[in-house]
Amino acid sequence: TSYSSHGYPMLPMYIDYSLLGFQRVGDLIWAAADSRSRGFLLGATAGRTTLSGEGLQHQDGTSHLVASTVPNCRAYDPCFAYELAVILEDGMRRMLDAREDVFYYVTLMNESYAMPSMPADAREGILRGMHRIRDARQAKVRLLGAGTILNEVLAAAQLLEKDWGVGADVFSVTSFTELRREGMAVSRRARHPGEGRGPMHCWVQTQLPKTGIPIVAASDYVAAVADLIRPWIADPYMALGTDGFGRSDTRAKLRRFFEVDRHSIAAAALSSIGDSRVKDAIARYGIDPDASAPWER
């Protein structure tokens, strides 16, 4: 708040364990929101399967759900470096140049994986909440991935094509929260047609129009995060997440446990399109069909 208390605009960047943010010091974050603070709150080792060795205490599966309740918090869960760069650049523009009273919550991971180049037309989608990163020749399912789980989604798309001949389009979701807020604004505009003009379709509706093709979304957070955009999706929609208590294990085993690994996502995609081979996929990928739900274990 130095821009108002001292007349000197600054943008602090505070990085901590993502679990220790909204879950442990949520009152202070609300105080920052109330006082119109500006800056970047960076949640490190974010997601329920990223910090694999610390189990229940430091595995965050809820911060993006809580962040969606803070009106002036702009929450993003990028997967790739170019997405992070675009988000930080736009945040600096909005908070310094445009002097908007907002602050940013951006989750970060410490997992090593390849960083692709930025597609030429990706910027708008990154900031609005989602952009397409993979086109299938004849898509039978659409896959959404957020944060580090996007890598599992991309791998699932390859499995679907290679093992089952099923094409899958893939979208990177950088912010379910921003997508929801735009959807809420469009829905409100429809309820108040005399209050001025504006788009009558939100970004979710333009990127995921009604086609009859099912959609499967996965993130490293509870499924309620992916469910934030459900009201604006016209086709069958399945939300996968990491509901349950955190555990100590390898990332691969944690993702299998929470059913957000590539094999579980591929099986879920086959189920969403009513493919009778889903039982074959479950057997082939070693998925235990008799296991109880992760949130019951």
- Are 74 and 102 contacting, i.e. CB atoms less than 8 angstroms apart? yes
Task: Please give the Cα distance from 51 to 110 (Å, whole number).
Answer: 8
Statement to judge: residues 78 and 198 lie in one domain: no
Two tokens, residue 86: 């675009």
Statement to judge: residues 160 and 196 lie in one domain: yes
The alpha carbon of residue 138 and the mean position of all alpha carbons in its chain are separated, in whole angstroms, by 25
Looking at the domain assignment, is residue 212 inside a domain? Answer: yes
We report the CATH number of the domain holding residue 93 as 3.40.50.970
Statement to judge: residues 196 and 229 lie in one domain: yes
Statement to judge: residues 146 and 289 lie in one domain: yes
Look up the domain containing 241 and give its range. Answer: 128-296
Statement to judge: residues 40 and 143 lie in one domain: no
Residue 96: CB partners within 8 Å, gap ≥ 6? 9, 11
264: left (phi over 0), alpha (psi -120 to 50) or beta: alpha
Statement to judge: residues 133 and 180 lie in one domain: yes
Beta bridge partners of 132: 171
DSSP 100: -
Provide the whole-model pTM. Answer: 0.94
pLDDT tens per residue, the chain (297 residues)? 677 677 777 888 999 888 777 777 778 888 888 888 989 999 998 999 987 766 666 788 999 999 999 999 999 999 999 999 999 999 999 999 999 999 999 999 989 999 999 999 999 999 999 999 999 989 999 999 999 999 999 999 999 999 999 999 999 999 999 999 999 999 998 888 776 677 789 999 999 999 999 999 999 999 999 999 999 999 999 999 999 988 888 899 999 999 999 999 999 999 999 999 999 999 999 999 999 999 998
Statement to judge: residues 92 and 170 lie in one domain: no
Looking at the domain assignment, is residue 123 inside a domain? Answer: no
Q: Looking at the 3D structure of the chain, how many domains does it have?
A: 2
We report the CATH number of the domain holding residue 170 as 3.40.50.920
First-to-last alpha carbon distance for the chain, in angstroms, is 44
- Within 13 Å of residue 33, how many CA atoms lie on the same side as its CB? 17
- Are 193 and 214 contacting, i.e. CB atoms less than 8 angstroms apart? no
Looking at the domain assignment, is residue 112 inside a domain? Answer: no
Statement to judge: residues 233 and 92 lie in one domain: no
Task: Please give the Cα distance from 258 to 162 (Å, whole number).
Answer: 24
- Are 61 and 220 contacting, i.e. CB atoms less than 8 angstroms apart? yes
Statement to judge: residues 78 and 170 lie in one domain: no
Two tokens, residue 230: 């459900």
